[in-house]
Structure 1
Amino acid sequence: MRHRFRTSALILCCLGVPLASAFAQSHAAHAPASPVPDRMELAWSPALIDGLPRHDVSIDVHGTPLRCEGVALVDLLRRAGAMPAEPLRGAHLARRVDVMSSDGYRVVFSLGELDRSLGKQAVYVADRCNGQPLDAREGPARLLVPGDSRPARSARQIKTFVIE
């Protein structure tokens, strides 16, 4: 019986090392190429979007058509270092961005749904609508999510972006 146990243990050790090595190599291949910051908080300021490509976005909010101008949220996050330029993988897939409004409203997006190689969810941060800068009731910035069936995530009065 003792001999059988030793033989089994030896076989497991011999097989386990190559399997563990293969698993480690496979896991390393899917690790993020860019480091993942634990938490990042970005306070809204026009400087966050200065110089980023601008987009015209039309959306219907509670029966009112809006034609707004702003930047892609993914471009803002990449410039800030909160999201890598390459397609997401590994630990980045478990990350999210919480967008906080000054009235306490909060919406959440996973980085995976924003990544153009995965979810492709178009989300924009607008600072102008209908040809005018956003007023205090709507601004200083607002989110636009044209693909959503209702505007619940098109938050206004954006104050902070928290990436975790």
Structure 2
Amino acid sequence: MHPTRTPLAMVCLSLGLGWCLVAAAAEPEKSAHAHASDPPQRMAPIDVTLDAAKIAGLPRTTATGTAHGKTLSCEGVSLAALLRASGAMPEEPLRGAQLARMVVVSARDGYRVAYSLAELDASLGAREVVLSDRCDGAALDADDGPWRLIAPGESRPARWIRQIESIRVIDAP
């Protein structure tokens, strides 16, 4: 073998091997989640029944917050507890398609607000949202009731809603 060809062959082999390693490193990494490429699942909407007797059987809680310059101390049930009791939210931590679900709350006057199931889930957001039927020691009157949602941890009360007529759990658009 010619003495100058051996180093040249070694250089070519080294460069070729180097390019192979670069190409392999540049390949996109496969997702660690087996479901990452699965098509999204659509779940049926769930209408939550606002049955006073059923709601009365749930654990009561209190929440205090300020809306429009007035501090309210309200009693009711956790929205998450109501959703679980209605089968609209699982007892176990949310997973998969459940993470893209929303709770839409509608009032008599057409006002609507939305919360994600994830922000209500204790293992994720654990946002305190209370469906109240009493504030400041008295049952809600016709102007505010029969149900009112309050979320004391929010910076402003834009998602507090009164005169609630319906609660529906849907897939995010």
Q: Quote the residue 1:27 is aligned against.
A: 35
Which residue pairs with 1:153 in the alignment? 159
Q: CA deviation at 1:45?
A: 3.0
Q: Aligned pairs, how many?
A: 137
The one-letter code matched in structure 2 to 1:68 is C
Counterparts of 1:85-96 in structure 2, within 5 Å, are 85-96=91-102
The answer for unaligned runs of 5 or more in structure 1 is: 1-18, 29-35
What TM-score does the superposition give when structure 2 sets the normalisation length? 0.73
Structure with the bigger percentage of helix: 1
Listed one character per residue, the Cα deviations across residues 56-92 of structure 1 (whole Å, up to 9, x for unaligned) are 1111111111111011000000000000000001010
| Counterpart Cα distance in 2 of 1:116 and 1:103 | 31
Match of 2:69 in 1: 63
Report the TM-score when normalising by structure 1. Answer: 0.77
| Larger Rg belongs to | 2
Counterpart for residue 14 of structure 1: none
Aligned pair in 2 of structure 1 residues 79, 43: CA closer, same or farther (>3 Å)? closer
In 2, Cα distance between equivalents of 1:50 and 1:101: 21
In the TM superposition, 1:9-158 aligns within 5 A as 26-27=34-35, 37-158=43-164
Q: CA RMSD of the aligned region, Å?
A: 2.1
Structure 1 residue ranges (4+ consecutive) displaced by more than 6 angstroms after TM superposition: none
Mapped partners of 1:122, 1:93: distance in 2: 18
Identity, % of aligned pairs? 52
